[in-house]
Each structure stands twice: as C-alpha cells, then as structure tokens.
Amino acid sequence: MNLNNQKIIINIEDSEYLNWKIYLKSKFKMLNSCNIEIDSKNLKLSCTDISEIIEIANQYNCKIIGFSSTSEKTIVSIHSLGYKSHFSIESSSKNTSQIDDNNQIFSKTNFHQGTVRSGEYLDSPGDLLILGDVNPGAKVSAEGNIMIWGRLLGIAHAGSKGNYQATISALQLRPVQLRIAKKVARGPEEKPQLGMAEQARIDSEEIVISPLETTYFEKSN
Amino acid sequence: MATDTRVILICSGKGGVGKTTLTANLGISLARQGLTTAVLDADFGLRNLDLLLGLENRIVYTAQEVLEEECRLDQALVKHKQESNLSLLPAGNPRMLDWLKPDDMKRIVEMLKEQFNYVLIDCPAGVEDGFKNAMAASQEAIVVTNPEVSAVRDADRVIGLLNTNSIKPVQLVLNRVRPKMMANQEMLSIDDVTDILALPLLGLVLEDEQVIVSTNRGEPLTLNSLNSPAAKCYLNIAKRLQGEDIPLIDPAEESSGLGAKFRRLMQTKIF
C-alpha cells in the first residue's frame, strides 16, 4: 500500500486528550511517511506542544501539512510557528439554520482575550470579539463582524468570505489596513479623536469610518 | 548550592539593539552585588559576548564539549578577570551551527543552576531555532528594544512567542534613548513603546558614546566607568531586578541642558 503524497487527517478524539502524545506517536508509526493533517478539536496546545508534534512526526518521516482546531490558543500557537491552520466549527449544520441573512447576525462569536501581537493571526468563522489591542503587524479576520474592545493598529478583515455588510468596530481605529469582503482600504493618516469608538463599513462601494452607531447594537438584539 | 536560581533570557527579535551589551553589563553589576552570575552566550553562530567581556583569548572549551563529556563544566566556565563572581559559558563553536537542541540547552542550564544565583542567557537575534533553543531553558525574560518602529515591532513578535511558551515575568528595557530627540518628538516616546508592548518597564538606558569605546576595549562600562550615563542605567536595572525600588530616570530632565540643570539645583538649594 503506497500512502505517499496522500493527505491523511488525524483526529485527536476526546478520549485521547490526556495522552495525546502517545496517541499521536502510535498513529505516526502506523502511517510512516505520509502527509498528515491534524485535527486537534478544542485541545489547547502551546508552541512547545506543536513543535513536539512536528518533531515526533519527523521521527517517523511524516510531514505535517496542516492543522485544524477549535481552540484559539492552538491556532495562535500554530500560526506563530508559521504553519497553516483553520478554525473548524463543531456541528455547523445545526447552527446555520439560525443565521438570519438580513441581519447578518452570526450564531458563533469567537472571543479572544489579550493583546494580539505582531505576527499573530486570528481567524473566526463567525463574528470575532477581541478584548485587547490588535498591535501593528498582527492580523485578525472573521467571516462576520469584528469588534475590538481596545485599539486596532494592525490589519483587520471582516466578511472574509464575501459578506459586504460586515463591519469592523474598535475603541480606537488606527489600522494599517482595513478589508471588508473584497474591498481594501488603507488606514486613516490623521489621529482619531480620543474617547470615541469608531466603526468601518461599506457605504456606496467604499470603506468609510464613522463614530460607532448605537443602532448597531439594537439591530443585534 | 543555590536553590532559587533565576534564569533570565535576554532577547529582542531585532539585531543590534543591545542584547549582548545589556547581558555583559548586567552580569558585571550583579556580580558586584556579590551574586554569583553565569552569562551563557546562546548566540554561538555570531558569538561576541566574550569580546565584550574581554575574555575571548581565555575560551578553551564550550558547552558543547561539556555535553559530550569531553570536559567538566568548571573547565568550560571562563571566570572574569576582575569580577570573580562572574563566569562566561560560550554555548558552542561558531563552526558547528546545528548541534544544539532545546533539550541540550535545558541540560546546560540545569548544570549552571547548581552553582549560580543568576543565569543570564544572551539570545541570538531572530525568532528561529536559536531563539527557540534559548527560550526552552528560560524561566523569565527581559526584552530589549530601541525607541524605533522596527525594533518595537520585532519585540512585540517576540513577546507573543514568550507568552505562548508561558515565560513569566517578561520585562522591558528601552535601550539607546536620546532624551533630546524624545523631547522634540523625533523618536518614539516611552509611552508610545509601553502602550504597544504592554509590559512593565525594567529600565531605560541612555544613548552613550562610551558604550562603543567599552565594547572595543572589552571592558563593560559597569566595570570601570561608573560615571558614564549608560553605566548608571545598567546598575539601576540590576538593582531593580533584585527587587529594589529605584525610580526611572526622566528623559525630559536629561534633555534640558546643563544650564537648566544647574538652575534647578540652585533653586532646590535656596528654597
């Protein structure tokens, strides 16, 4: 049986959480020299854990070509090591029925607490709420809206799958670049007023920034 | 045997911001306070901590030989000429770049911990293997940065990596501060830097021409030229590291000329 160059997906099941290292080792042993994608579910892995996984894989000539995870911590660790990854949504079919197309409210809001630092990348299949700053050099993206309870100084991409109604709001909006769906805008040159939350959205084919409207919240209710 | 050894990683991301200079001066300052200190040069591809300390010609063995059991640890440790509490351990030979693994680094540091109060690790620039090796063995970290956009950006990246590897506490040293340029807003201010990096500031180091002179001589400033502005800053950092409460210098005060300083001195004397 030649499995070379074939993509194999390994799921780390709930029952294997405690001894995932041993579990992976046995898997790699079986799959000697394959391209592997790992689905770690909501297991929280640090950079060291992920380097370890890659090292174990190398011992058995396996090549890790991607990760998927539902844990933000894992995603950040993976990205900080420079690997490809994506968020997976659990039981997405159930959730989609709740999405109201007119209001563009997403059933799943991903929440990140802490500063998103240079080189880090957050991606969310729904809305993304960040409690902290997004520093220059960092990138955040969401299929829905992005809300930042802090300063946005990096790059933000809302409506990444083409939702033109998506918005980006932050307590201080001073990004390097803003993207909504397929529109791209450079950040404003002048310093924003202090103490005023702002929102970016698409208005007649252009990305505009205006003081955050309270109606936005009413709509969500 | 020291039981509560502090293992401190000195890193920056960007090169040339003053990691090695800080390591050397901090090493000397701590040693002067009577603390046994080891400085480990983890930047063995481009090693120059030995140059700064003036110990280049005394290196016989490196950590590599210790791990391969070709020599004992105390044979590889190079004691400083004047400050006997300070020892240097070069991590490896510049010609053999890929021998070191994170586990090797941990083993070296474990050995050093048995003998010293402080282990300072001089980290290489970048966020690749060299940095990861050095990080693996550390408990806490000092991030060195300059008040310029590129250095702050790289420091931010490094802090992110330190956080994901749960290294705590991470403190900041702002190096090469020019008070005049800061006052004229030609340089990032202290607030600009601490706002972005969101770290406690361990100290400022003023730009000082004497640093270049001391590097070329192989005598860290804190050894002989205690009156130079940068040397004072380094000493203060060493004291704060020990938990002493020493106020930060105010660059605005430093920027006003000698005349203003003199007047202020007069005023305080009179009133």
Residues 67-96 of A with CB under 8 A from B: 73, 76-77, 80
Residues 24-53 of A with CB under 8 A from B: 46-48, 51
Kindly give, in sequence order, each residue whose CB lies less than 8 Å from that of residue A122, ignoring residues fewer than 6 positions away: A72, A75, A76, A110, A112, A116, A128, A130, A138, A139, A140, A141
Q: Six-digit token pair at B176?
A: 């090469």
The whole-angstrom separation of Cα A126 and Cα A139 is 16
Count of domains for chain A: 2
* pLDDT given for residue A32 in this prediction: 74
Kindly give, in sequence order, each residue whose CB lies less than 8 Å from that of residue B163, ignoring residues fewer than 6 positions away: A114, A117, B170
- Whether residues A43 and A116 share a domain: the answer is no
CB nearest to A80's CB, from B136, B164, B166: B164
Q: Is B136 on the interface with A (CB under 8 A)?
A: yes
Residue A66: inside a domain = yes
Bridge-based pairing of strands A85-87 and A168-173 is unpaired
pLDDT in tens, A66-85: 777 777 777 777 766 766 66
Kindly give, in sequence order, each residue whose CB lies less than 8 Å from that of residue B3, ignoring residues fewer than 6 positions away: none
Residue A92: inside a domain = no
Contact A119 B165 (CB under 8 A): no
Which of A55, A112, A118, A151 to mutate to probe the B interface, most B CBs <10 Å? A118
- Return the percentage of chain B with pLDDT > 70, whole number: 92
- Whether residues A107 and A182 share a domain: the answer is yes
* pLDDT given for residue A214 in this prediction: 58
Q: Mind telling me how many Å the CA of A153 is from chain B's nearest CA?
A: 9
Contact A133 B196 (CB under 8 A): yes
The whole-angstrom separation of Cα B127 and Cα B154 is 9
Residue A209 bridge partners (DSSP): A200
The whole-angstrom separation of Cα A199 and Cα A158 is 12
Please say which residue of A56, A87, A118 terminates a domain. Answer: A87
CB nearest to B153's CB, from A114, A115, A118: A118
Contact B196 A137 (CB under 8 A): no
CA dihedral B235, B239, B242, B246 (to 10 degrees): -150
The whole-angstrom separation of Cα B162 and Cα B168 is 8
Q: Is B157 on the interface with A (CB under 8 A)?
A: yes
CA angle B177, B182, B183 (to 5 degrees): 135
Q: Mind telling me how many Å the CA of A170 is from chain B's nearest CA?
A: 16
Please say which residue of A61, A87, A113 terminates a domain. Answer: A87
Contacts with B149 from chain A: Cβ below 8 Å: 136
Residue B1: inside a domain = no
Residue of B nearest to A74 (CA): B164
Contact A137 B166 (CB under 8 A): no
Residue A94: inside a domain = no
Q: Is the model more confident about B162 or about A27?
A: B162
Per mean pLDDT, which range of A129-133, A148-152, A193-197, B75-79 is the poorest? A193-197
Contact B136 A48 (CB under 8 A): yes
Q: Is the model more confident about A175 or about A101?
A: A175
- Whether residues A186 and A209 share a domain: the answer is yes
Contacts with A46 from chain B: Cβ below 8 Å: 164-166
* pLDDT given for residue B256 in this prediction: 62
Contact A77 B136 (CB under 8 A): no
pLDDT in tens, B11-34: 999 999 999 999 999 999 999 999
Q: What is the mean pLDDT of the segment spanning A117-144? A: 92
Contact B196 A120 (CB under 8 A): no
Q: What is the mean pLDDT of the segment spanning B140-167? A: 94
Angstrom CA distances, B140 to B26, B114, B134, B137, B171, stand at 15, 18, 11, 10, 8
Q: Mind telling me how many Å the CA of A139 is from chain B's nearest CA?
A: 12
The helix/strand/coil state of A121 is strand
pLDDT band at A44 (very low <50, low <70, confident <90, very high): confident
Whether B271 has a pLDDT exceeding 50, the answer reads no
pLDDT in tens, B221-267: 999 888 899 999 999 999 999 999 999 888 777 766 554 555 555 55
What CATH number is given to the structural domain containing B213?
Answer: 3.40.50.300
- Whether residues A19 and A80 share a domain: the answer is yes
Whether A98 has a pLDDT exceeding 50, the answer reads no
- Whether residues A106 and A213 share a domain: the answer is yes
Contact B166 A46 (CB under 8 A): yes
- Whether residues A165 and A209 share a domain: the answer is yes
- Whether residues A44 and A68 share a domain: the answer is yes
What CATH number is given to the structural domain containing A68?
Answer: 3.30.70
Q: Are A163 and A104 in contact (CB under 8 A)?
A: yes
Instruction: Give the count of alpha carbons within 13 A of B173, CB side only.
Output: 30
Provide the mean pLDDT of chain B.
89
Count of domains for chain B: 1
Task: Please identify which residue in the block is written with the tokens 């109604």.
Answer: A165
pLDDT in tens, B84-134: 999 999 987 777 767 788 999 999 999 999 999 999 999 999 998 889 999
Q: Is B156 on the interface with A (CB under 8 A)?
A: yes
- Whether residues A49 and A136 share a domain: the answer is no
Contacts with B163 from chain A: Cβ below 8 Å: 114, 117
- Return the percentage of chain A with pLDDT > 70, whole number: 76
Beta strands in A7-145, from DSSP E residues, in sequence order: 7-11, 35-39, 63-69, 85-87, 109-113, 121-124, 127-131, 139-142
Q: Are A164 and A191 in contact (CB under 8 A)?
A: no
Residue A2: inside a domain = no
Contact A135 B196 (CB under 8 A): yes
The whole-angstrom separation of Cα B122 and Cα B51 is 13
Helix (H) or strand (E) holding A16: none
Residue A76: inside a domain = yes
The whole-angstrom separation of Cα B237 and Cα B202 is 6
Helix (H) or strand (E) holding A44: none
The whole-angstrom separation of Cα B102 and Cα B130 is 9
- Whether residues A216 and A112 share a domain: the answer is yes
pLDDT in tens, B180-207: 898 888 889 999 999 999 999 999 999 9
What CATH number is given to the structural domain containing A192?
Answer: 2.160.20.70
Residue B39: inside a domain = yes
Q: Is the model more confident about A218 or about B53?
A: B53
Residue A122 bridge partners (DSSP): A140
Q: What is the mean pLDDT of the segment spanning B64-80? A: 92
pLDDT in tens, B36-59: 999 999 988 888 899 999 998 898
Residue of A nearest to B102 (CA): A48
Residue ranges making up the domain that contains A79: 7-87
* Region class of A177: left (phi > 0), else alpha (psi between -120 and 50), else beta: beta
- Whether residues A79 and A162 share a domain: the answer is no
- Whether residues A126 and A211 share a domain: the answer is yes
The whole-angstrom separation of Cα A70 and Cα A62 is 23
Residue ranges making up the domain that contains B197: 6-270
Residue B115: inside a domain = yes
- Whether residues A131 and A201 share a domain: the answer is yes
The whole-angstrom separation of Cα A170 and Cα A134 is 10
